[in-house]
Amino acid sequence: MKFDQEKFREAIIFFANNVNTLGITKLNKLLYYSDFKHVKLYGRPILGDKYVKYKQGPVPEASYSLFNANFTHQISKFLSKDIEVKNKKVGPYNQKRIIAKRESNLEVFSKSEISILQAVASKFKNSTATDLSNRAHIEKPWKETAPFEYIDYKLILDNKSVPKAYVAFREAEEILLEAALLK
């Protein structure tokens, strides 16, 4: 499973245009729900990121690092031409909001991926980051993962999802493909 930076960028833009008050924590949870729902229904994630169990909820490792590199450390300009982060005073707090500078390019996604992104955006449009973190904390993938460990995608599978054997087959196939391409 290889992380797809282009899909990550377009997912940020998509969510920035389709949900209310998007910050980095809410974005992390929207990406988590999108990837895990896609695995549950289709056997593979959208972004190919690994999610780590942190106190605030699941955090996508590569996505979070890339986002921070662009807006905290100013190492890269990969995202800054397409989105900006603005400070907004909300009561006594200073919150950072992600604002899209353009519409998302949905051509980088498959039809099933677009469908999942739309469903996640619709379902969580008005949710806060705290709402989404609390929700993740009561779900099986979160509960069955130790702190600071990777959350196994297969933990989302149940009798209403694709079979675990299919997901395991897809993961093995991806590893073989990556190994072949590195030769």
Q: Where are the alpha helices (DSSP H) in the chain?
A: 5-18, 24-42, 61-71, 111-124, 129-137, 140-143, 164-182
Q: Estimate the crossing angle of helix 129-137 against helix 24-42, to 10 degrees.
A: 40
CB of 117 closer than 8 Å to CB of 31:
no
From CA 178, how far away is CA 183, in angstroms rounded? 9
**pLDDT tens sequence across 85-117:** 888 876 677 788 899 999 999 999 999 999 999
Q: Give pLDDT tens digits for 36-71.
A: 999 999 999 999 999 999 998 999 999 988 887 776
3-class secondary structure, 48? coil
Measured on CA atoms in the order 167, 61, 77, 182, is the torsion positive or negative?
negative
Is the pLDDT at 129 greater than 60? The verdict is yes
CA distance 37 to 82: 26
Q: Which residue has the tokens 């379902």?
A: 123
pLDDT at 143 over 80: yes
CA max distance for the chain: 56
